[in-house]
Amino acid sequence: MDPAARVVRALWPGGCALAWRLGGRPQPLLPTQSRAGFAGAAGGPSPVAAARKGSPRLLGAAALALGGALGLYHTARWHLRAQDLHAERSAAQLSLSSRLQLTLYQYKTCPFCSKVRALLDFHALPYQVVEVNPVRRAEIKFSSYRKVPILVAQEGESSQQLNDSSVIISALKTYLVSGQPLEEIITYYPAMKAVNEQGKEVTEFGNKYWLMLNEKEAQQVYGGKEARTEEMKWRQWADDWLVHLIFPNVYRTPTEALASFDYIVREGKFGAVEGAVAKYMGAAAMYLISKRLKSRHRLQDNVREDLYEAADKWVAAVGKDRPFMGGQKPNLADLAVYGVLRVMEGLDAFDDLMQHTHIQPWYLRVERAITEASPAH
Protein backbone atom coordinates (compact mmCIF):
# COMPACT_ATOMS: atom_id res chain seq x y z
CA MET A 1 0.00 0.00 0.00
CA ASP A 2 1.48 3.39 -0.98
CA PRO A 3 2.04 6.09 1.71
CA ALA A 4 -0.89 8.26 0.61
CA ALA A 5 -3.34 5.37 0.81
CA ARG A 6 -2.04 4.40 4.24
CA VAL A 7 -2.40 7.95 5.49
CA VAL A 8 -5.97 8.09 4.20
CA ARG A 9 -6.76 4.79 5.89
CA ALA A 10 -5.17 5.94 9.14
CA LEU A 11 -7.20 9.13 9.12
CA TRP A 12 -10.55 7.42 8.54
CA PRO A 13 -13.16 8.52 11.13
CA GLY A 14 -13.44 5.12 12.80
CA GLY A 15 -9.76 4.74 13.44
CA CYS A 16 -8.91 8.05 14.62
CA ALA A 17 -9.72 10.04 12.02
CA LEU A 18 -9.61 13.54 11.11
CA ALA A 19 -7.17 16.34 11.16
CA TRP A 20 -7.12 19.77 12.56
CA ARG A 21 -6.23 22.15 15.29
CA LEU A 22 -6.51 23.18 18.94
CA GLY A 23 -6.54 26.28 21.18
CA GLY A 24 -8.62 29.40 22.17
CA ARG A 25 -9.42 32.31 24.48
CA PRO A 26 -12.27 31.72 26.94
CA GLN A 27 -14.27 34.17 28.95
CA PRO A 28 -15.51 33.69 32.49
CA LEU A 29 -19.13 33.35 33.38
CA LEU A 30 -19.39 34.86 36.81
CA PRO A 31 -22.58 35.02 38.90
CA THR A 32 -24.48 38.26 38.60
CA GLN A 33 -23.96 40.33 41.69
CA SER A 34 -26.81 42.42 43.03
CA ARG A 35 -26.32 46.11 42.45
CA ALA A 36 -28.50 46.99 45.43
CA GLY A 37 -26.74 49.00 48.10
CA PHE A 38 -27.03 49.00 51.87
CA ALA A 39 -29.42 51.44 53.49
CA GLY A 40 -29.93 52.33 57.09
CA ALA A 41 -31.13 55.09 59.38
CA ALA A 42 -30.04 56.22 62.79
CA GLY A 43 -33.02 56.81 65.01
CA GLY A 44 -36.55 57.40 63.76
CA PRO A 45 -39.43 55.00 63.77
CA SER A 46 -38.90 51.27 63.47
CA PRO A 47 -39.61 49.56 60.14
CA VAL A 48 -42.79 48.12 61.64
CA ALA A 49 -44.01 51.52 62.74
CA ALA A 50 -43.07 53.03 59.42
CA ALA A 51 -44.94 50.30 57.60
CA ARG A 52 -47.99 50.89 59.72
CA LYS A 53 -47.81 54.55 58.68
CA GLY A 54 -47.47 53.49 55.03
CA SER A 55 -43.88 54.76 54.58
CA PRO A 56 -42.64 53.29 51.26
CA ARG A 57 -39.21 54.93 51.52
CA LEU A 58 -38.04 52.94 54.53
CA LEU A 59 -39.56 49.77 53.14
CA GLY A 60 -37.65 50.36 49.90
CA ALA A 61 -34.45 50.97 51.83
CA ALA A 62 -34.95 47.78 53.81
CA ALA A 63 -35.58 45.83 50.60
CA LEU A 64 -32.46 47.26 49.02
CA ALA A 65 -30.42 46.37 52.07
CA LEU A 66 -31.76 42.83 52.02
CA GLY A 67 -31.10 42.57 48.28
CA GLY A 68 -27.54 43.77 48.69
CA ALA A 69 -26.90 41.36 51.52
CA LEU A 70 -28.33 38.45 49.53
CA GLY A 71 -26.29 39.41 46.51
CA LEU A 72 -23.08 39.45 48.53
CA TYR A 73 -24.06 36.22 50.25
CA HIS A 74 -24.69 34.33 47.00
CA THR A 75 -21.53 35.72 45.41
CA ALA A 76 -19.43 34.67 48.42
CA ARG A 77 -21.15 31.29 48.48
CA TRP A 78 -20.43 30.74 44.77
CA HIS A 79 -16.74 31.52 45.22
CA LEU A 80 -16.45 29.33 48.33
CA ARG A 81 -18.16 26.47 46.52
CA ALA A 82 -15.79 26.89 43.58
CA GLN A 83 -12.84 26.75 45.98
CA ASP A 84 -14.26 23.62 47.64
CA LEU A 85 -14.72 21.92 44.25
CA HIS A 86 -11.17 22.85 43.25
CA ALA A 87 -9.79 21.51 46.54
CA GLU A 88 -11.74 18.26 46.19
CA ARG A 89 -10.58 17.80 42.61
CA SER A 90 -6.98 18.69 43.48
CA ALA A 91 -6.89 16.08 46.23
CA ALA A 92 -8.19 13.38 43.90
CA GLN A 93 -5.78 14.41 41.18
CA LEU A 94 -2.83 14.41 43.57
CA SER A 95 -3.73 10.90 44.68
CA LEU A 96 -4.04 9.71 41.09
CA SER A 97 -0.91 11.39 39.78
CA SER A 98 1.13 9.97 42.64
CA ARG A 99 -0.03 6.43 41.80
CA LEU A 100 -0.30 6.45 38.02
CA GLN A 101 1.99 7.28 35.15
CA LEU A 102 -0.09 8.01 32.07
CA THR A 103 1.09 7.81 28.45
CA LEU A 104 -1.24 8.84 25.64
CA TYR A 105 -0.59 7.47 22.14
CA GLN A 106 -2.31 9.77 19.69
CA TYR A 107 -2.57 11.71 16.47
CA LYS A 108 -2.67 15.31 17.61
CA THR A 109 -5.26 16.22 14.99
CA CYS A 110 -7.63 13.36 15.87
CA PRO A 111 -10.93 14.42 17.52
CA PHE A 112 -11.11 11.26 19.62
CA CYS A 113 -7.63 11.93 21.00
CA SER A 114 -8.60 15.55 21.59
CA LYS A 115 -11.52 14.38 23.74
CA VAL A 116 -9.14 12.42 25.98
CA ARG A 117 -6.73 15.34 26.30
CA ALA A 118 -9.64 17.59 27.30
CA LEU A 119 -10.43 15.26 30.21
CA LEU A 120 -6.80 14.87 31.29
CA ASP A 121 -6.19 18.61 31.15
CA PHE A 122 -9.43 19.53 32.92
CA HIS A 123 -8.50 17.26 35.80
CA ALA A 124 -4.86 18.45 35.70
CA LEU A 125 -3.59 14.90 35.32
CA PRO A 126 0.05 14.73 34.23
CA TYR A 127 0.65 12.59 31.16
CA GLN A 128 3.19 11.99 28.44
CA VAL A 129 2.25 12.16 24.77
CA VAL A 130 3.59 9.83 22.10
CA GLU A 131 2.73 11.10 18.62
CA VAL A 132 2.04 8.12 16.36
CA ASN A 133 3.18 8.05 12.75
CA PRO A 134 -0.08 7.41 10.86
CA VAL A 135 1.70 5.50 8.08
CA ARG A 136 3.97 3.10 9.95
CA ARG A 137 2.34 3.24 13.41
CA ALA A 138 5.50 1.74 14.86
CA GLU A 139 4.84 3.53 18.17
CA ILE A 140 1.89 1.22 18.89
CA LYS A 141 3.39 -2.01 17.58
CA PHE A 142 3.09 -3.35 21.15
CA SER A 143 -0.71 -3.30 20.79
CA SER A 144 -3.03 -5.62 18.89
CA TYR A 145 -5.55 -2.76 19.00
CA ARG A 146 -4.38 -0.57 16.14
CA LYS A 147 -6.39 2.61 16.59
CA VAL A 148 -5.69 5.71 18.62
CA PRO A 149 -6.11 6.96 21.24
CA ILE A 150 -4.48 4.36 23.45
CA LEU A 151 -3.76 5.24 27.07
CA VAL A 152 -1.22 3.21 29.05
CA ALA A 153 -1.49 3.59 32.83
CA GLN A 154 1.45 2.36 34.87
CA GLU A 155 0.67 1.75 38.54
CA GLY A 156 3.65 0.28 40.36
CA GLU A 157 4.51 -2.98 38.64
CA SER A 158 1.11 -3.16 36.95
CA SER A 159 0.44 -1.67 33.53
CA GLN A 160 -3.04 -1.27 32.06
CA GLN A 161 -3.86 -0.46 28.44
CA LEU A 162 -7.08 1.46 27.84
CA ASN A 163 -8.53 1.57 24.32
CA ASP A 164 -11.28 3.73 22.79
CA SER A 165 -11.67 7.38 23.73
CA SER A 166 -15.01 7.01 25.51
CA VAL A 167 -13.80 3.99 27.50
CA ILE A 168 -10.66 5.89 28.52
CA ILE A 169 -12.75 8.86 29.67
CA SER A 170 -15.31 6.77 31.58
CA ALA A 171 -12.67 4.59 33.23
CA LEU A 172 -10.51 7.51 34.37
CA LYS A 173 -13.49 9.47 35.67
CA THR A 174 -14.70 6.39 37.54
CA TYR A 175 -11.23 6.01 39.04
CA LEU A 176 -11.09 9.65 40.12
CA VAL A 177 -14.46 9.50 41.84
CA SER A 178 -14.46 6.00 43.32
CA GLY A 179 -10.80 5.13 43.82
CA GLN A 180 -11.44 1.58 42.60
CA PRO A 181 -8.37 -0.15 41.16
CA LEU A 182 -8.01 0.71 37.50
CA GLU A 183 -7.33 -2.95 36.73
CA GLU A 184 -10.81 -3.74 38.04
CA ILE A 185 -12.51 -0.76 36.39
CA ILE A 186 -11.47 -1.68 32.86
CA THR A 187 -13.19 -5.06 33.20
CA TYR A 188 -16.50 -3.17 33.28
CA TYR A 189 -15.97 -2.12 29.64
CA PRO A 190 -15.59 -5.42 27.73
CA ALA A 191 -14.42 -5.45 24.11
CA MET A 192 -16.88 -7.06 21.71
CA LYS A 193 -16.56 -7.94 18.04
CA ALA A 194 -19.25 -6.66 15.71
CA VAL A 195 -19.83 -6.17 11.99
CA ASN A 196 -20.43 -2.61 10.76
CA GLU A 197 -22.63 -1.39 7.89
CA GLN A 198 -19.85 -2.06 5.40
CA GLY A 199 -19.55 -5.69 6.50
CA LYS A 200 -16.24 -5.08 8.24
CA GLU A 201 -15.46 -6.58 11.63
CA VAL A 202 -14.95 -3.88 14.24
CA THR A 203 -14.34 -3.77 17.98
CA GLU A 204 -16.99 -2.17 20.18
CA PHE A 205 -16.96 -1.69 23.94
CA GLY A 206 -19.81 -2.31 26.32
CA ASN A 207 -21.00 0.31 28.83
CA LYS A 208 -18.58 2.89 27.48
CA TYR A 209 -20.68 5.90 28.44
CA TRP A 210 -21.35 4.68 31.98
CA LEU A 211 -19.41 5.67 35.08
CA MET A 212 -19.23 2.65 37.37
CA LEU A 213 -20.22 4.31 40.61
CA ASN A 214 -22.29 3.34 43.62
CA GLU A 215 -25.41 5.30 44.50
CA LYS A 216 -23.65 7.73 46.82
CA GLU A 217 -20.87 8.44 44.32
CA ALA A 218 -23.37 8.90 41.49
CA GLN A 219 -25.31 11.37 43.61
CA GLN A 220 -22.08 13.25 44.32
CA VAL A 221 -21.24 13.54 40.62
CA TYR A 222 -24.68 14.07 39.10
CA GLY A 223 -27.13 15.07 41.79
CA GLY A 224 -29.86 13.11 40.01
CA LYS A 225 -30.64 10.48 37.39
CA GLU A 226 -31.69 13.05 34.80
CA ALA A 227 -28.25 14.66 34.75
CA ARG A 228 -26.58 11.28 34.33
CA THR A 229 -28.86 10.30 31.46
CA GLU A 230 -28.35 13.67 29.79
CA GLU A 231 -24.56 13.41 29.98
CA MET A 232 -24.55 9.91 28.48
CA LYS A 233 -26.94 10.92 25.69
CA TRP A 234 -24.80 13.84 24.54
CA ARG A 235 -21.50 11.98 24.86
CA GLN A 236 -22.89 9.38 22.50
CA TRP A 237 -24.22 12.13 20.20
CA ALA A 238 -20.71 13.57 19.97
CA ASP A 239 -19.37 10.18 18.84
CA ASP A 240 -22.24 9.09 16.62
CA TRP A 241 -23.07 12.36 14.89
CA LEU A 242 -20.85 15.36 15.62
CA VAL A 243 -17.58 13.61 14.71
CA HIS A 244 -19.00 12.65 11.31
CA LEU A 245 -19.73 16.30 10.51
CA ILE A 246 -16.12 17.35 11.04
CA PHE A 247 -14.66 15.26 8.26
CA PRO A 248 -16.84 16.49 5.34
CA ASN A 249 -16.48 20.08 6.52
CA VAL A 250 -12.70 20.29 6.76
CA TYR A 251 -12.33 18.54 3.38
CA ARG A 252 -15.30 20.32 1.79
CA THR A 253 -13.32 21.90 -1.05
CA PRO A 254 -9.90 21.15 -2.58
CA THR A 255 -8.52 24.30 -0.94
CA GLU A 256 -9.83 23.32 2.51
CA ALA A 257 -8.57 19.77 2.06
CA LEU A 258 -5.08 21.02 1.25
CA ALA A 259 -5.12 23.38 4.25
CA SER A 260 -6.20 20.50 6.50
CA PHE A 261 -3.43 18.22 5.28
CA ASP A 262 -0.90 21.00 5.57
CA TYR A 263 -1.76 21.14 9.26
CA ILE A 264 -1.66 17.34 9.59
CA VAL A 265 1.83 17.22 8.14
CA ARG A 266 3.11 20.08 10.31
CA GLU A 267 1.67 18.73 13.54
CA GLY A 268 1.93 15.01 12.85
CA LYS A 269 4.89 12.66 12.87
CA PHE A 270 5.89 12.32 9.22
CA GLY A 271 9.15 11.86 7.40
CA ALA A 272 10.04 14.35 4.67
CA VAL A 273 8.89 12.12 1.80
CA GLU A 274 5.83 10.88 3.67
CA GLY A 275 4.84 14.45 4.47
CA ALA A 276 5.08 15.62 0.88
CA VAL A 277 3.08 12.65 -0.40
CA ALA A 278 0.48 13.00 2.35
CA LYS A 279 -0.03 16.72 1.85
CA TYR A 280 -0.96 16.57 -1.82
CA MET A 281 -2.07 13.04 -2.60
CA GLY A 282 -3.75 12.62 0.77
CA ALA A 283 -5.62 15.91 0.44
CA ALA A 284 -6.93 14.89 -2.98
CA ALA A 285 -8.01 11.47 -1.73
CA MET A 286 -9.70 12.89 1.37
CA TYR A 287 -11.59 15.44 -0.69
CA LEU A 288 -13.08 12.62 -2.76
CA ILE A 289 -13.77 10.44 0.29
CA SER A 290 -15.55 13.33 2.01
CA LYS A 291 -18.12 13.31 -0.79
CA ARG A 292 -18.84 9.64 -0.12
CA LEU A 293 -19.23 10.33 3.59
CA LYS A 294 -21.59 13.18 2.82
CA SER A 295 -23.83 10.74 0.97
CA ARG A 296 -23.49 7.99 3.59
CA HIS A 297 -24.61 10.27 6.42
CA ARG A 298 -27.28 11.96 4.27
CA LEU A 299 -25.83 15.42 4.77
CA GLN A 300 -27.11 18.53 3.03
CA ASP A 301 -25.51 19.80 -0.17
CA ASN A 302 -23.91 22.52 1.92
CA VAL A 303 -22.42 20.47 4.74
CA ARG A 304 -21.79 23.62 6.76
CA GLU A 305 -25.53 23.76 7.44
CA ASP A 306 -25.42 20.37 9.18
CA LEU A 307 -22.51 21.56 11.30
CA TYR A 308 -24.32 24.78 12.20
CA GLU A 309 -27.50 22.92 13.10
CA ALA A 310 -25.59 20.51 15.32
CA ALA A 311 -23.82 23.35 17.14
CA ASP A 312 -27.04 25.25 17.80
CA LYS A 313 -28.77 22.04 18.88
CA TRP A 314 -26.03 21.56 21.46
CA VAL A 315 -26.30 25.17 22.65
CA ALA A 316 -30.08 24.78 23.03
CA ALA A 317 -29.55 21.60 25.08
CA VAL A 318 -27.19 23.43 27.43
CA GLY A 319 -29.73 26.24 27.74
CA LYS A 320 -29.48 29.78 29.01
CA ASP A 321 -29.68 29.06 32.74
CA ARG A 322 -26.36 27.27 33.17
CA PRO A 323 -22.88 27.95 31.80
CA PHE A 324 -22.24 24.26 31.03
CA MET A 325 -24.31 21.16 30.60
CA GLY A 326 -22.65 20.07 33.83
CA GLY A 327 -23.93 23.17 35.63
CA GLN A 328 -21.22 25.33 37.15
CA LYS A 329 -18.44 23.20 35.67
CA PRO A 330 -18.05 21.16 32.49
CA ASN A 331 -19.20 17.56 32.61
CA LEU A 332 -18.06 14.74 30.35
CA ALA A 333 -20.48 15.78 27.60
CA ASP A 334 -19.11 19.34 27.62
CA LEU A 335 -15.55 18.02 27.37
CA ALA A 336 -16.47 15.57 24.58
CA VAL A 337 -18.18 18.17 22.39
CA TYR A 338 -15.40 20.68 23.01
CA GLY A 339 -12.73 18.09 22.24
CA VAL A 340 -14.33 17.18 18.93
CA LEU A 341 -14.82 20.78 17.79
CA ARG A 342 -11.42 22.16 18.73
CA VAL A 343 -9.59 20.03 16.17
CA MET A 344 -11.00 22.33 13.51
CA GLU A 345 -9.51 25.45 15.08
CA GLY A 346 -7.38 27.40 12.64
CA LEU A 347 -9.36 26.16 9.63
CA ASP A 348 -12.14 27.84 7.67
CA ALA A 349 -14.74 25.45 9.05
CA PHE A 350 -14.01 26.54 12.61
CA ASP A 351 -14.14 30.25 11.78
CA ASP A 352 -17.45 29.76 9.98
CA LEU A 353 -18.81 27.79 12.93
CA MET A 354 -18.00 30.56 15.40
CA GLN A 355 -19.46 33.21 13.11
CA HIS A 356 -22.71 31.54 12.09
CA THR A 357 -23.83 29.81 15.29
CA HIS A 358 -24.34 30.65 18.97
CA ILE A 359 -21.70 28.23 20.24
CA GLN A 360 -18.76 30.58 20.80
CA PRO A 361 -19.60 31.77 24.37
CA TRP A 362 -19.97 28.17 25.58
CA TYR A 363 -16.83 27.10 23.70
CA LEU A 364 -14.75 29.84 25.27
CA ARG A 365 -16.07 29.06 28.76
CA VAL A 366 -14.99 25.42 28.44
CA GLU A 367 -11.63 26.47 27.09
CA ARG A 368 -11.10 28.78 30.03
CA ALA A 369 -12.12 26.09 32.52
CA ILE A 370 -9.53 23.72 31.03
CA THR A 371 -6.82 26.39 30.89
CA GLU A 372 -7.38 27.41 34.51
CA ALA A 373 -7.34 23.79 35.67
CA SER A 374 -4.20 22.86 33.76
CA PRO A 375 -2.29 25.94 32.53
CA ALA A 376 0.72 23.84 31.51
CA HIS A 377 -1.37 22.28 28.70
Measured at the alpha carbon of residue 247, what is the angle toward residues 297 and 105, in degrees to the nearest 5?
A: 120
Active-site residue, selected from the candidate residues 38, 73, 105, 112:
112
Active-site residue, selected from the candidate residues 105, 107, 209, 261:
107
Active-site residue, selected from the candidate residues 105, 110, 122, 189:
110
- Cβ atoms of 279 and 258 within 8 Å: the answer is yes
- Cβ atoms of 128 and 152 within 8 Å: the answer is no
Sign of CA dihedral 237, 135, 201, 162: negative
Is 113 an annotated catalytic residue?
yes
Is 16 an annotated catalytic residue?
no
Is 110 an annotated catalytic residue?
yes
> For the range 75-83, what are the long-range contacts, defined as Cβ-Cβ under 8 Å and sequence gap of 24 or more?
75/31, 75/33, 78/31, 78/328, 81/328, 82/328
Active-site residue, selected from the candidate residues 16, 105, 113, 363:
113
Alpha helices in 100-164 (DSSP H): 111-122
Residues 6+ apart with CB under 8 A from 2: 277
Residue ranges with strand state E in the chain: 101-106, 127-131, 150-155, 158-163, 191-195, 201-205
Q: Which residues face 159 on adjacent strands?
A: 154
Which amino acid is present at 251?
Y
Three-state SS at 173: helix
Measured at the alpha carbon of residue 250, what is the angle toward residues 362 and 117, in degrees to the nearest 5?
A: 50
Active-site residue numbers? 107, 110, 112-113
